[in-house]
Chain A
Amino acid sequence: AQSVTQPDIHITVSEGASLELRCNYSYGATPYLFWYVQSPGQGLQLLLKYFSGDTLVQGIKGFEAEFKRSQSSFNLRKPSVHWSDAAEYFCAVGADTGRRALTFGSGTRLQVQP
């Protein structure tokens, strides 16, 4: 069965500092991987996705993520965090055939200090 682990429930960083949110997955084949962001009271917004090819993917709002098959990881990074990045971040794994439902991690809540 597929699963996603986000080890950090809550992270606090200072504005302007770099950020890395961890994500580890378990999946039987080559996964489709996603990062979503959720602001309070809002739905999920897709930040970026990995399907195949280049293991470093760029997303919106200056985020990037690196797929590392050997470590079963897909960590999200941003070189300089802005106060508006405070939100909850979800990593998800899925497929494009068969059972297409996404499996989500439990989320990491990001707090940004001025």
Chain B
Amino acid sequence: QQQVKQSPQSLIVQKGGISIINCAYENTAFDYFPWYQQFPGKGPALLIAIRPDVSEKKEGRFTISFNKSAKQFSLHIMDSQPGDSATYFCAATTGKLIFGQGTTLQVKP
């Protein structure tokens, strides 16, 4: 299976809260998992990425948690800010990048 299933489709969080977006995959050959962030009217941009040999990667307020046995990975945005409001795409690859359906995040002031 080449799909990456992403949830939720949309998310509303209060400023200062934690935003959590989840992704699941079937293909155990996937070995690189990036997250892209897309603001309205802009193209996606790489936010953070992880390999399956680590369980967590943190960059500032953004953390990827990876559960290899469950074939799941998630993005946590700590202390969410209105400027984080965007669409987030998870992806997985072993050659061709397979994207999830996207999650639209709205952070309310």
Decide whether A and B assemble into one complex: no
Q: Which residues of A contact B (CB under 8 A)?
A: none
Q: Which residues of B contact A (CB under 8 A)?
A: none
